[in-house]
């Protein structure tokens, strides 16, 4: 009798565990939790804040966010994608900071039906797969447009007559080269000079590249790189004689790590540094009821980490992942989950293209942000446009201040 009861109890536990597993849907967060951990944590916090609004549960399924560190490496990211496809509970992948993994793995992602929602990586080709069915959606800055805002700011606001492109030698840098070159050509009627650099450049080499750009007549730098390389170029610029220094108008990659701590307020006083962001900021005095509620909820979810708006490191990650989370929830509410995860991914993909109701977010209210993809509709899977992009700076307390909100 005792043996029978033990067996029955064990069986009940097993069934309970299996039931709990069956009622879980996992979101894989493919991001750089190593060198650019601030950006990864920020995205995770924003997405989890959105999930908390529905108690992390939709249609009886518990929604779980699973961190997968690709360390900025495209092969590691591909490995994460393969794990995702092998997981019978994995619904979609939340992307990360770096563009190269999604540009280099774009064919694999789309040919294998990896549903990818991107809250940061800005490389233009990411959402522009030439096939009939596109599985990648983005709510972030888009490099087919960002270069126009950066070049416009350099020329109109900073008075640059000879901007020099300083770009990392990656697919992300190359996607920016086309847009930035076209933007400068459009405004100044000439092609800008360009210098390419590789990851992990040191300040000595960076200084040489800046001096060479200055000797070619450059009067400002349009920079595309991440926090690690951004620090080296910022230090190199500050080390030049005052007359040789140039304004740095940067892509937002420098905000994805600890750049603001390494290049502190004292060092930044020696620089003229601005960078692109989307136009919402928790630092703005003009907050909405939603943004105030989001900040309060994040304080509750992440005590000791978020106490005030300036505590959110790499804020674009939080903001965009939160808004993507809201769009995901709205799309999932339009479908009836079947329990077949591959079929449910397809249902969710189609629902994202056909959102029926407006969705209020932090950046804006989204009205049909995505539409059915075709190669002739290049922006079909882009939730944001040029009108949503602003320029920003760090203040003395290392907070990001969007220029339009200053």
13 vs 57, which has greater pLDDT?
Answer: 57
For residue 256, name the pLDDT band (cuts at 50, 70, 90): confident
For range 4-23, the mean pLDDT: 46
For range 31-43, the mean pLDDT: 95
Please give the pLDDT value at position 375.
82
For residue 39, name the pLDDT band (cuts at 50, 70, 90): very high
Q: Of 289, 260, 278, 359, which is closest to residue 318 (Cα–Cα)?
A: 278
Decide: helix, strand or coil at residue 307. Answer: coil
371 vs 374, which has greater pLDDT?
Answer: 371
10 vs 346, which has greater pLDDT?
Answer: 346
Q: What is the pLDDT of residues 59-68, one digit of tens each?
A: 999 999 999 9
Please give the pLDDT value at position 404.
60
Rounded to the nearest integer, the mean pLDDT of the chain is 92
For residue 285, name the pLDDT band (cuts at 50, 70, 90): confident
Tokens representing 400 are 């990001």
Strand order in the sheet with 400-402: 194-197, 163-168, 220-224, 248-250, 273-278, 389-394, 400-402
Rounded CA-CA distance 226/31 in Å is 14
Tokens representing 265 are 């307020």
Q: Are strands 220-224 and 248-250 parallel, antiparallel or unpaired?
A: parallel
Decide: helix, strand or coil at residue 333. Answer: coil
Q: What is the pLDDT of residues 105-146, one digit of tens each?
A: 999 999 999 999 999 999 999 999 988 899 999 999 999 999
User: What residue ranges define each of the domains in the chain, with the CATH number in brackets?
Assistant: 24-142+291-385 (3.40.50.2300), 144-281+391-405 (3.40.50.2300)
For residue 171, name the pLDDT band (cuts at 50, 70, 90): confident
Rounded CA-CA distance 199/220 in Å is 21
Does residue 405 carry a pLDDT above 70? no
For range 175-186, the mean pLDDT: 94
- Stated pTM of the model: 0.89
DSSP 54-123: TTTEETTEEEEEEEEE-TT-HHHHHHHHHHHHH-TTEEEEE--S-SHHHHHTHHHHHHTT--EEESS---
Q: What is the pLDDT of residues 234-255, one digit of tens each?
A: 999 999 999 999 999 999 889 8
């Amino acid at each position: 009798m005792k043996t029978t009861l033990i067996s029955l109890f064990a069986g009940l536990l097993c069934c309970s565990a299996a039931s709990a597993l069956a009622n879980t849907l996992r979101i894989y967060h493919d991001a750089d939790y190593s060198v650019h951990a601030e950006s990864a944590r920020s995205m995770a916090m924003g997405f989890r804040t959105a999930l908390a609004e529905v108690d992390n549960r939709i249609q009886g399924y518990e929604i779980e966010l699973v961190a997968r560190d690709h360390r900025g490496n495209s092969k590691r990211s591909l490995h994460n994608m393969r794990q995702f496809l092998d997981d019978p509970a994995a619904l979609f992948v939340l992307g990360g900071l770096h563009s190269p993994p999604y540009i280099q793995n774009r064919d694999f992602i789309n040919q294998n039906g990896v549903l990818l929602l991107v809250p940061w990586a800005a490389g233009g080709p990411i959402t522009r797969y030439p096939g009939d069915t596109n599985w990648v959606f983005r709510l972030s800055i888009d490099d087919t447009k960002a270069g126009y805002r950066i070049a416009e700011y350099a020329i109109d606001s900073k008075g640059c007559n000879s901007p020099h492109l300083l770009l990392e030698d990656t697919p992300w840098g190359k996607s920016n080269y086309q847009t930035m070159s076209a933007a400068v050509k459009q405004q100044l009627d000439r092609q800008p000079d360009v210098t390419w650099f590789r990851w992990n450049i040191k300040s000595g080499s960076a200084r040489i590249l800046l001096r060479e750009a200055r000797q070619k007549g450059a009067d400002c730098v349009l920079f595309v790189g991440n926090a690690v390389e951004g620090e080296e170029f910022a230090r190199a610029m500050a080390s030049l004689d005052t007359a040789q220094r140039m304004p740095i108008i940067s892509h937002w990659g420098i905000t994805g790590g600890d750049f603001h701590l390494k290049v502190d307020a004292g060092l930044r006083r020696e620089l003229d540094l601005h960078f692109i962001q989307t136009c919402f900021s928790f630092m703005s005095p003009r907050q909405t009821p939603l943004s105030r509620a989001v900040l309060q909820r994040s304080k509750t979810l992440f005590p000791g980490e978020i106490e005030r708006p300036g505590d959110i490191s790499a804020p674009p990650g939080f903001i965009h992942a939160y808004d993507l989370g809201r769009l995901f929830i709205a799309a999932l509410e339009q479908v009836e989950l079947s329990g077949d995860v591959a079929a449910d991914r397809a249902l969710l993909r189609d629902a994202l293209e056909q959102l029926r109701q407006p969705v209020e977010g932090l950046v804006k209210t989204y009205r049909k942000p995505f539409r059915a993809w075709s190669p002739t509709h290049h922006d079909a899977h882009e939730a944001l446009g040029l009108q949503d992009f602003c320029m920003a700076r760090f203040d003395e307390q290392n907070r990001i201040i969007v220029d339009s909100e200053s």
